[in-house]
Amino acid sequence: MKALLQRVTQAQVHVDGSLIGECGAGLMILVCAMQGDTDDMPAKLAAKISKLRIFHDDAGKMNRSIVDTQGSALVVSQFTLAADTSRGNRPGFSAAAPPEDGRRLYEAFATELAALGIPVQTGQFGADMAVSLTNDGPVTIAVEI
């Protein structure tokens, strides 16, 4: 599984003009399940992300996790993280998991993250979503399990 984390002051996702998910200070997490990902990967990815020390402490150093800061998360599926741009000008997405596996692993990741005490809202798997956010820092980190 791949994830792209953005430390945010706020983030929202809309589908057909309606707000379906949002978070305040915390993380915007774009998630992609890959071919061959197994059922244990969502828990491993959630545990890794929950412990990443990417939030400022009182001294201004990145030394606190989302759990430490009591932040929230907006989790959005994004199969385009699987893009292969090594040939030509048109990305290929064959490394992404099939939709049924992608949905299952994406939903399991959001559930695992919430089980770690992080308030989680989600986008809508497979939908055309409008995502907005205010990147804090900016801090953007790629994580792969």
Catalytic residue among 78, 109, 121, 122: 78
Domain locations along the chain:
2-144
Helix %, strand %, coil % for the chain, to 5? 25, 40, 35
Q: Is 78 a catalytic residue?
A: yes
Q: Is 125 a catalytic residue?
A: no
Write the CATH number of the domain with boundaries 2-144: 3.50.80.10
Q: What is the pLDDT of residue 48?
A: 98
Tell me the average pLDDT across 6-19: 98
- The C-alpha atoms of residue 130 and residue 112 are separated, in whole angstroms, by 24
- The C-alpha atoms of residue 144 and residue 44 are separated, in whole angstroms, by 10
Yes or no: say if 21 and 141 are a contact pair by the CB < 8 Å rule: no
Q: What is the pLDDT of residue 130?
A: 98
| DSSP tag of 126 | T
Tell me the average pLDDT across 70-80: 97
Catalytic residue among 35, 38, 80, 140: 80
What does the block give as tokens for 112?
Answer: 């695992």
Tell me the average pLDDT across 56-75: 97
Give the helix/strand (H/E) hosting 56: strand 55-56
Q: Is 134 a catalytic residue?
A: no
22-47 residue pLDDT tens: 999 999 999 999 999 999 999 999 99
